Structure 1
Amino acid sequence: MKVLVIEDEEQLLNNIKESLEKEKILVETAMEFNTAIEKALIYDYDCILLDIMLPNGSGIDILKELKKSNKTDNVIIISAKDSLDDKLLGLELGADDYLTKPFHLAELNARVKAVIRRKNFSGNHILDILNVSLNTNERELKINNELVHLNRKEFDILSYFLMNKNRLIPKSALAEYVWGDHSDEADNFDFIYYQIKNLRKKLNDAKADVTIEAVYGMGYKLTET
């Protein structure tokens, strides 16, 4: 996955870049209008984070050019301007979402993942692997076409694994994605262990063709059974 971050505040740009890279997302950056519009129009990105106020130009002008190229369905506007007119204009031009500064990086990460999920799965919100099907819109899990009940945390954990199948997921990344800022308050990751233990049992009982494998000292990985 590749994300372009267009932001002229260097510290915020670095914080966003570091946060996304922890999620194994490739991040490219631009701090001023000319570089930003060149990258946005030439290259393809799973998601573009776009600040409205930029040196030498406006993010709205970039959005207008992206609209001409049918590239606006994966854009999240990030701006300190909390103007309803700016928000509406951005959405009318095709932006997918709008986030007002200041914001929590965990919330930004969640919105980026939502955009990537919609873009990568043609907007149908379905994540499939073998006999497992997860509807991220209806928040339903089906195994062999039979509904399996998951609590909210179990669902979020499984969706994260399905979006990152065949990749090792560190406990810290899983905690931040599912629990957000509250994960910083934890003394350990026992709460993840218990949720995954319950989820693994439900997958096994329903005869899923996948399971969640623990990688000692590192994290977890979704594997075929």
Structure 2
Amino acid sequence: MNNSTNRKIVIFDDDEDILSICAYILEEQGWEVHTYTDCNNITEKVTAVMPDVILMDNWIPEAGGIVATQTLKTNDELKNIPVVYFSANSDIQLLASHAGAETYLAKPFDLDELEKTISNVLQKAS
């Protein structure tokens, strides 16, 4: 790896198209991207990567994004990793705060929004 300070991101979404688009865009920007289509064993998945930021879909099998995010937020090792909650649900703001996510992104989003949201949440976390 030419850059040992690669920023890492984990994306949880059961929509393969969204995963591949997001992964493509973020890899172009130098992110190391890890994608999962379910949130089973979420603690193990996130601990294995220790990402700088997590993107969490609301409708992710099996437990769903809220439970998955809450699980991360109750884990001492993982609770400080910022979570960006994303969903097409009109209640996204409510869902995100219920989940304990740092911020949210409404679907469909454009890629500029994705980039802005990620850099905002990283600035707040640092």
In the superposition, the TM-score normalised over structure 1's length comes to 0.48
SS of 1:34 mapped into structure 2: coil
Shift of 1:81: 1.3
Shift of 1:38: 2.9
> Which structure shows the higher strand fraction?
1
In 2, Cα distance between equivalents of 1:49 and 1:22: 17
Structure 2: how far apart are the matches of 1:89 and 1:101?
Answer: 13
State yes or no: 1:76 paired with 2:88: no
Looking at structure 1, the residues matched to 15 and 59 of structure 2 have their Cα atoms a distance apart, in angstroms, of 10
Identity of paired residues, percent? 31
Q: Helix, strand or coil: the match of 1:5?
A: strand
Distance in 1 between residues matched to 2:110 and 2:59, nearest whole Å = 20
Shift of 1:33: 2.1
User: Does structure 2 retain, via aligned residues, the 8 Å contact 1:33–1:58?
Assistant: yes
Q: Deviations over 1:34-69 (max 9, x none)?
A: 154531255421110000101222111111111112
Q: Is 1:67 matched up with 2:73?
A: yes
Q: TM-score, normalised by structure 2?
A: 0.82
Specify the SS of the correspondent of 1:78.
strand
Q: In 2, distance between residues paired with 1:35 and 1:10?
A: 19
Q: Which runs of 5+ in 1 are unaligned?
A: 122-225
Match of 2:30 among 18, 24, 30: 24
> Residues 94 and 72 of structure 1: is their aligned pair in 2 closer, same or farther, counting only changes over 3 Å?
farther
The residue that corresponds to 2:113 in the other structure is: 107
Partner of residue 118, structure 1: 124
User: After TM superposition, where is structure 1 displaced by more than 4 Å over at least 4 residues in a row?
Assistant: none
**Aligned mates of 1:11, 1:113 — CA distance in 2:** 22
CA distance in 2, matches of 1:75, 1:22: 21
Query: Structure 1 residue 108: deviation in Å?
Result: 0.4
Would the alpha carbon gap of residues 9 and 36 (structure 1) be closer, same or farther in structure 2, given more than 3 Å must change?
A: farther
Which residue of structure 1 aligns with residue 3 of structure 2? none
Q: Residue 13 and residue 105 in structure 1: after superposition, are their counterparts in 2 closer, same or farther (change >3 A)?
A: same
Distance in 2, matches of 1:72 and 1:94, equals 11
Cα distance in structure 2, aligned partners of 1:52 and 1:112: 17
Alpha carbons 1:63, 1:72 under 8 Å: kept: no
Per chain length, whose mean CA-contact separation is higher, i.e. which structure has more relative contact order (CA < 8 Å, sep 6+)?
2
Q: Which amino acid aligns with 1:49?
A: L
SS at match of 2:50: coil
Q: Structure 1 or 2: larger helix share?
A: 1
1:6 and 2:6 correspond: no
CA distance in 1, matches of 2:15, 2:89: 14
Equivalences, count:
118
RMSD of aligned residue pairs (Cα, Å): 1.9
Q: Distance in 2 between matches of 1:23 and 1:87?
A: 27
Q: Tell me, which stretches of 5 or more residues in structure 2 are unaligned?
A: 1-6
